Amino acid sequence: MNIWFFAFAGLMIAATSPAAESQPAFRVDVSTLLTGHGKQFFTQSRGALIPGTPARVVVTTQETDPTGAHGYADLFTIETVDNGRTWSSPQRIDSLRRTRLPEGHDLVMGDVCPQWHAATGRVLATGKTFGFLGGTTEDRGLERVSYSVRAPQSGEWSELRVLTLPASDHEGRPFLEPNSGCHQRVDLPNGEILLPIRYRKDAKVRDYTTIVARCRFDGEKLTYVEHGSEFTIPRERGLYEPSITAFGGRYFVTMRADHSAFVARGGDGLNYDPFIEWTFDDGKVLGSYNTQQHWLTHNDTLYLVYTRRGANNDHVMRHRAPLFIAEVDAVRLCVRRATERILIAESNADIGGGFGVVEVSPGETWVITSEIPTKRSRDFNRVLMARLTWAEPNRLFSKSP
């Protein structure tokens, strides 16, 4: 057996890789970036690479009260300029503070996904608005696709801005409660953006529909242009929290459902073939459900990062730990079971409810997430980073649209 090494909390844990592999594709080292305490947990943590000399990675994370669902407060950032060896102390984003509006409800941006936009030299963070009536009761009717822009020189963030969508979709139905949280987008060579969005078509039914919208971004304003396929299922909450990637000249979208997870493939980034349920290559259902999945690409291999049932993890909420990575068969649209690895081990906490992937260099990819302790069993949480160091540098050809 070949041996690869997984580092967690400073300890090296050996694991075996399949004999069919000639060498491990990557090494994984896990570190703690930030620790929250008491009612100040830090969740929904994701990073964006800012090119330069030195390169900078900025991580957005949200102050969260862990005693209730969606207790989101202000947004913070931490940064590194030495490839993750040291990190700044958390800095509150004043322009994105949770704010009481004259109507009597609180509003804050959440489920934030920052990403470098090369065409404008800006970090564009997209997500959703969370509204709380009287400051306490969440009102989903206040959800919108939200975004904020980081100024390249000062590092200051803009105020919360909202994407304007058309009055109706392809079926003539309204875009109710649209949002773009917990996703991955694709930026095209011409600077246009493929932004995944979920929304409701009917105020009486909480079935979400997933779309990918083509948008323009001029460095300040994000503008909707068009969208393609409209995907949903007539059960529970439909299909939502989509993430997309470009790989091998095709586009792939993964979607969350309450009972499972689904995937579709398309040629133009907007329109996709019929979606199918995620399975392993032996035909068995993957077991990821009621949470997000995200993509990772390296050279000629497409990977999925996910959580799932069946890993001695019944005690973890929605089986959201450990965090796995595995190769995707991009032709059959399934996960290669023999390639599955643990990125971040289970430690009695949900670590799959809000995470992100950032390609830092040709030789490194980072997966950043936050803990939410199971049943609030401890009074601290950690922002964690799995650093993947690749055995072979990235040739940067396989994911081009």
CA distance 93 to 77: 7
pLDDT for position 67: 75
Low-confidence residues of the chain: pLDDT under 50:
1-22, 396-398, 400
* Cβ 23 vs Cβ 2: under 8 Å: yes
Give the count of alpha carbons within 13 A of 219, CB side only.
7
- The closest alpha carbon to 353, from 44, 42, 36, belongs to 44
pLDDT for position 24: 72
Say what the alpha-carbon torsion angle 314, 317, 321, 326 is, to the nearest 10 degrees: 90
Query: What is the phi-psi region of residue 121: left when phi exceeds 0, alpha when psi lies from -120 to 50, beta otherwise?
Result: left
pLDDT for position 19: 35
Cis peptide before 54 (omega within 30 of 0): yes
Output phi, psi for 220, to 5 deg: -135, -45
DSSP for 165-211 reads: --S--TTS---EEEE--S---EE-TTS-EEEEEEEES-TT---EEEE
End-to-end CA distance of the chain: 37
CATH class of 22-390: mainly beta
Structure tokens at 306: 């996910």
pLDDT for position 129: 97
Query: For 167-180, how does the pLDDT look when each residue is reduced to its tens digit (9 = 90+)?
Result: 999 999 999 999 99
Look-up of token digits 């909390």: 9
Output phi, psi for 229, to 5 deg: -55, 145
pLDDT for position 65: 86
Spell out the domain ranges in the chain: 22-390
CA distance 197 to 180: 5
User: Kind and range of the H or E element at 334?
Assistant: strand 334-335
Looking only at the bridges linking them, the beta strands covering 2-8 and 26-37 are: parallel
pLDDT for position 23: 66
Report the predicted TM-score, pTM, of the whole model to 2 decimal places: 0.92
Instruction: Tell me the β-bridge partners of 56.
Output: 50
pLDDT for position 10: 33
